[in-house]
Structure 1
Amino acid sequence: MRAPALGVGATLGIPALAAATTWVTLTAWRDFVAQPSSYLDGLAVVAVVVAGLGTLLRWRGAPRAVTVLAQAVAVAALVCYQVTGSPVFVGAPGAELWGSLEVAVDSARTFAAPIGPGAPPVWPLLLVSGAGFLLLVDVVAATLRRVPGAGLVLLAVYAVPSGLLEDGPGAAPFAVAALGFLLMLHLDSREGLRRWGRGVGPSGDDVRWVRTNPVLDAARAGAGRIGVGATVLALAVPAFIPTLGVDLLDLGNRSGDGDIRIRKPVADMRRDLERDVDIPMLTVETDDPSPSYLRISVLHRFTGQEWSSGDRDVAREDKADGELPAPAGMTTAVPRRSYAYEVRVTEDFDSTWLPTQFPAAAVTAEGDWRFDPDTMDFLAADDGDTRDLTYRMIGLEPRYGTDGRFFRDAATGAVPDDMLELPDSLPEMVRALAREVTDEATNDYERALLLQRWFRRDGGFVYDLRRAPDGTGNNTLEAFLSEDGRVGYCEQYASAMAVMARTLGIPARVAVGFLEPDRISPTTWEYSSHDLHAWPELYFAGAGWVRFEPTPAGRVDAVPAYSRVAVGGDADSDDPAAGPGGAQPSESAPTAAPSVTPSTAPREAASGVDDGPAGASGRTILVLLAALAGAVIVAGASLGPRALRRRQRQRRLDDGPEQVWAELRATAADLRLDWPEGRSPAAVGEALGAHLTDHGGEDATSALARIVAEVERGRYARPGSVSTLERTTLREDAGTVTAALEASAGKAARRRATWAPLSVWSGGREPRR
């Protein structure tokens, strides 16, 4: 059965849109793996092959069955080649492909998402599944011409992470996929109306008729108004449902007024530790000579599967607006030192939990930030977050000494009951091991010291992020504590020590935050994503909640002085090799896992030179990749710089004088006008003013003078001086000057500035002074 001929737009547009839309939708699966490129790169090639081959066969009038069969064979050969190195998907390569899928399925069942490079690769499963969806969407939308049915297939792709990932997929893949689907509907509806015959009315040269063409109006009504309205509702309505909420670390979710719940922060912490790029998150200005632990949240409920904070009911009066209550359980006899901190959060750290020192004497932050009196962690009670936030606090450093006089056993009822609760399903070996490790202790303080020393030195543990098990549940805990386990990272160490402390009757919880910042000036420090850490906090009468550090020296080199007290004649040491059973840190214990793309041996073998069928197929793949890359480069070179330049101008003009000055410099660079480098604003203004006098008139010259005055005031005026120029006036002056500069240039210069702006690469900013 042959398909009737289509118009050129539908013949070329629908398959291309189907492939691109499906590929974008498949990016919703990226949170299944730590390295999404492991499957997305291969699917990009599959998308090109499916769309290109299908378009060619349909254009040549091939029967539908032949088209679908040819596409299926090509996809199978391509996927087999990517996984095994051979395009032959029968015989030994087919068996190898099937074996890779079985390994991927087992890995998906065993490890929690996102699956890192240390686990058996799961990308073959995602590759095969994604290729199937790419083929199915093309068949439904382009071959069978049932574009609305293709929407159901795309919805199925998007539904996979919705059902399997707790956080679900992001809104971006949905929005872009919805746009692609609407464009497919538009082309399909216009093609359907075209088959009714020619439109009645004046010729196509009549612009008025084009604007009222009934075919275009019908297409817009069907695919545009209804579709766009539905998409906007799909994206907007969830924002008003109180049970939904996300943030960068997924440390918090708001549900109702002040009812806040933590969602798997340690899992998200591991994801950020495994990032190839170390992302700056906080900058701290402080008089503390060696700042370290900065706490984000506290997890005090252990269910046997995970640690969580449970539900929080935060009172309206407990706000971060100054002085805080005294630290719970800490006697006033404990000497303490206070330090001032000013914290500036980058735009990359989006959290509803406020990183603070613990204990702290005062915290002041703009917005509705509230603290939980039981844990003294801070969280947003409204829609606020930490991005670009600046706040201040006074941190306390207790001086407990090394004689243990402030560490008394906690009395019954001193802390909430959930700080001691353990699930009935907790393995008995955990309780027995805790008693065995602390057998020689005479009080809870000594038991805590022995637990820490056992994890860091005597137990033979090593820190290894790549080989660390996933999760903190009972099964993971039992395997981690067994003699053939004992390899993990801070998540397992903090969880294990807290659980073992509770089995001994010591109140314990897990804290998540930052470990140790990098020093960037004598009083300025920077915390980044690779500084994320977890540690246990134990409660003692007289000392209150106290931090311990069971993570070995492969990650944490030093422990608090109060935790190096001798027990049974043997003191703890920061040297992992000290004492009996000291375990050297693993050589493979970096903070962040290296950039390794999951691979299989067959894929590596396929990289060799071969003139046989595999080599020919490899050359075909390279040609397709080159064509795809060429198309992307052409589109990016044509549209990317122009769009980026527009965004840069909008952002700068909405900012202060320095950014406006940077925009003027960028405009001059784009137009190839002289800009005196290394000169003062007044000198630069004189040079530009001479140019504007000839081309821009008095208005542009006066506007430039006002901008120069604002820049000089910002750079050289005394701190605290107030600007005399309104922000709207500054923006208007900048617009007047840039318009005059552009008017002074020729048409060729303006075209170059529009399509090949130099400032996109140079940045358009003055050198650092």
Structure 2
Amino acid sequence: MSGQGMSGQGSNPQGANPQGAAEPGLRDGLADTATATRRGARRDARRATSRSSRGWGGPRSGLAASADRRSLIDLGVVSLLLAIALLGFAPVLVGGWFLVAAVVGLLVGVAAGWLSRVLGLSAILTALLALVLYFLLGTPAAIPGQAILGVLPSLGSLRGLAVGAVFGWRDVLTLSAPAAAPDYLLVLPYVSAWLTGLVTAVLALRWVPRGSRSLGRVSVLLIAPVVLYIVTVVLGTDDPFLAAVRGTAFAVVALVWLGWRNPFGRNASLQDRSTLARRKLVGTAVIVAAAVAAGAVGTAAVEAPVAESRFVLREVVQPPFDPVDYPSPLAGFRNYTADLDETILFTVDGLVPGDQLRLATMDTYTGRLWDVAGVDVATNGSGSFRLVGGEFPEPDLFTRADERSLDVTVQGYTGVWLPGVGAPSRLELAGADTERTESVRFNAATSTTVLMSRLSEGDEYTLTSGMQAVPSDDALQSVEPAQIAMPPIVDSPDVVTAKMAEYIADAQTPIEQVRAIETALHTNGFLSHGLASDSVPSRAGHGADRIEELFTRNQMIGDQEQFAAAMALMVRQLGFPARVVMGFAPENIVEGQPTEVMGGDVTAWVEVPFEGVGWIPFYPTPDETEIPQDQNPKPQTEPQPQVRQPPRVEKKQEDLLTSVDTDDGEDEEKDDAFVFPAWIAHTAIGVATPLLILGLWMLVIALLKSARRRRRRRAAEGHERAVGAWDELVDGHAELGFAVPPNQTRIATASSFAAQRSRRSRDHEGAATDPAVMRSLRDIAARADEAVFAGGEAPVGDVDVLWQGARREVAAAGRGVGWWRRLRSRLRISRAGGSRSSRAVTDGRRRRGAERRVAAGSS
């Protein structure tokens, strides 16, 4: 008899007592079970159980509805705080479209969190849903220029959404604020709002309602807005956007919301609640008034934070383009005159006679050469290159006199430096893709532009520039040189200082002193490029030894490289800022016709800044090429001492020429060498990474499910192992997407599962029959009830049969659904079976009642 209690159909259990003494108590326990079953069936008739996963779907009680309203209010308030924080992007992005991108990103993130709550998605599925919505809806909001028909995503926009989210943070720090390009910069407010909105929605709708809703728990929702507010401040500029107004509004909204969300007095009487409500209204009014007063006083006292007291990352982050990585353009000066003299480098349309093309500007001297200062030099000079789009910022020290629009076609030139005139204000690369456009860097202080992807033959671009006004010397008599921080001069020869003092002996004003240096070099020197056609040799270079040789020989012989370098050193020794500019001065300019710029047109000049005017050019290179032969002494033979000396080696004339290669790129690979395409590796990484994450997540979930199943099967009591089998069945169905009826008996839950499985089976396969599924599930439910309420210890064999039946039904349910739900079941872990605490209490109470009745019948 002892082995028949669970082997029957559950309607007449036996075996609790071998002598049958417990039979009356057992009948009472089963009667209670039947009563509970009938009540559950009637409750099922009144409730819809089609969507009630974890108690989130289906009809809700007044308390649950109230909780939902509180969650939506929390979400609305925190979204308002996020919107206030997102306004911090205004100083670094041009126009107001960034606000549209931010609002759309916030809505997309909140929608993903809400769908996650409604559908009961796991963490990995929530992340996948959020990413799909991010890329699907991000194109018209963040990159509308690359959308198909204005709204549909394209390959370019999808790339921009990915690149902007990863690299946009770096680019915005090196961009001249406010910036309008590259176009993926609008992804920054979009992705920021999307991420913070998603986190806030998940916390407000799923995490906060599960707890006690204490003030500390609710305050966690403020983490995302506070972090976003700080991020926009750090990424901003020294001149923030409505700092006092935004800060006051943020603090007021947060404090008022926390005050009203305080659960204190929730269980008070109606009279006490009315008193507390009046106090909260008064407190809210006081907080708002105090905040408005403090904001008004603070705004009146200090219009904006002092630059020195405001920390922004753009002041400490180095730009990605470091000119030190490239050779000094002036070092390759002789390469143009010797090797590229008759080579057409560019064809420029739009030049006016007298125009000079600027190639590079150098303001630091190392003792070996003039170079572009590196980004580690504390200066606003030639090393401060920043990412720009089509529009360029105007220099701080600049007086516009005219405007030029040049159409440049590159032919024999290769390099990173873009030739231009004046102060560029707009650049358009013909036929350039997004990646090439994003490689443009600009230095507003020196009006120099570089293309990190390098110019090559066939490239075309249009450059619009403003031309610097050059006043007369009379107009500059009372103007002082501008006070501009410049890099230090290293190893300047002493002869430079001596010659400078000699040249300016009779000059009084700064413009007279600078002009005296220019005139002395121009009139006393002779021009020679060191070519075979020149009458005398002229060594290349402008290091300290070459500059000293320029002044110590009987005649000053050199070209623009030496004379510009020498004059800049003299002006710097005089105490004025100065820099060397290398470029091209074509002589065959005909207005209205394209101009061919050749290597022989290379030149260099000096610029000195004057306060309120701008950088004024000076041209110290002489025009005279006929050097008097009698004043160029021949080398004399030196007497040799009696001591035996090593043979004297005379340098040949061609050894005096220094060949400098301007092509700093790496040697080209052989044509037949196979190079593994980088896009294949990137594609493989992009595909393998999500699959690896998915596989790791599935492994973790499988381990957790195995531990849960092992814990349930190894419970101490037999009835606990039987209940564990039922919970395993419930969890298995919930993970497959079946709705679990809340607060129902096992029989009612089994009936609900059977109905849902029958509908799904007809949709997918049509093989399962409703009566068979119903009988099997109700039988397992009845056996579980019998093990709990019979009052005795459930036999081990019957518990094993119950576990086998539960596993079999879960497997059958899995075969009746689609592959997507089966995949989801492997990615999520349900607690629907193990978290029904109220049923566990009821089961325990009824089991103890059954045991007492059995004990009473036995006595």
- Shorter-normalised TM-score: what interval? 0.3 to 0.5
Which is higher, the Rg of structure 1 or of structure 2?
A: 2
- TM-score, structure 1 as length reference: 0.36
- TM-score, structure 2 as length reference: 0.32
Which gives a bigger RCO, structure 1 or 2 (Cα 8 Å, sep 6+)?
Answer: 2
